[in-house]
Amino acid sequence: MNGGQAMPALVMQAGLVAHGKYAAHFHANPSVVSYDFIITKNPPAALRGHHFGRAYFMITPMPPTNHTEYLYAGTTGFPQYKYLEVASAAPLAWQLTYVKLASPDTGEDYHAGGKVPVGKWFCLEWEFDDTPDQAAVFVDGVQSFAQSTFTFAGATTGLVGGFAAFGFGYYAWHPATYAFDVYYDDIVLDTKRVGCLN
């Protein structure tokens, strides 16, 4: 799924990888709001309420100054959907967010902290829970930032209503003045923490 650019920005390339022969490479053009995602279809039901993820991840040369989304878990119907996300902001802090783009009453609850490594591969892990709604992000096996409570319209649990779709890529909500590249390798989702490769 892509938007805001003339051509899809995803290629499966064999040059810059974390492991093996291929990695997903997303390229974002400068000065434009754009997105490009790989989105799952029919994920296992066991992942709907609470799950863990792991990917080898790299962004270069650096994220845009403001909100840039990288991965999400939410409802189907992109881009009119509800979800939890791992993003960046400010520009090198993680941003964990609940977002409601489905009408009515659209909005979000976002929180920032920790540090996003740039210009190198690292092991990115995350945990999303919808009951109650909370999220955590880990860098090379160590927790970098966590948000124990998301609140929206007075509620703190079941905000998403079940994780039915998982997306990996980028969404440049506030575009950079420069082009940037996002890479993914070794993506795994599970009901328990996956851990990094040795």
Across residues 55-68, what is the average pLDDT? 94
In CATH terms, the fold of domain 2-190 is Jelly Rolls (2.60.120)
Question: Is cis: bond before 63, omega within 30 of 0?
Answer: no
pTM here is 0.92
Note the pLDDT tens digit of each residue in 119-149: 999 999 999 999 999 999 999 999 999 999 9
- Residue 179's pLDDT band, with cuts at 50, 70 and 90, is very high
- Residue 90's pLDDT band, with cuts at 50, 70 and 90, is confident
How far is it, in rounded angstroms, from Cα 91 to Cα 28? 16
Note the pLDDT tens digit of each residue in 150-172: 999 999 999 999 999 999 999 99
> What pLDDT is attached to residue 149?
97
pLDDT beyond 90 at 4: no
Q: Which of 131, 124, 170, 127 is nearest to 150 (CA)?
A: 131
Domain ranges of the chain: 2-190
User: Pseudo-torsion of CA 168, 169, 172, 176, nearest 10°?
Assistant: 140
How far is it, in rounded angstroms, from Cα 169 to Cα 154? 30
Q: Residue 99: beta bridge partners?
A: 83, 108
Cα 2-94-70 angle, rounded to 5 deg: 15
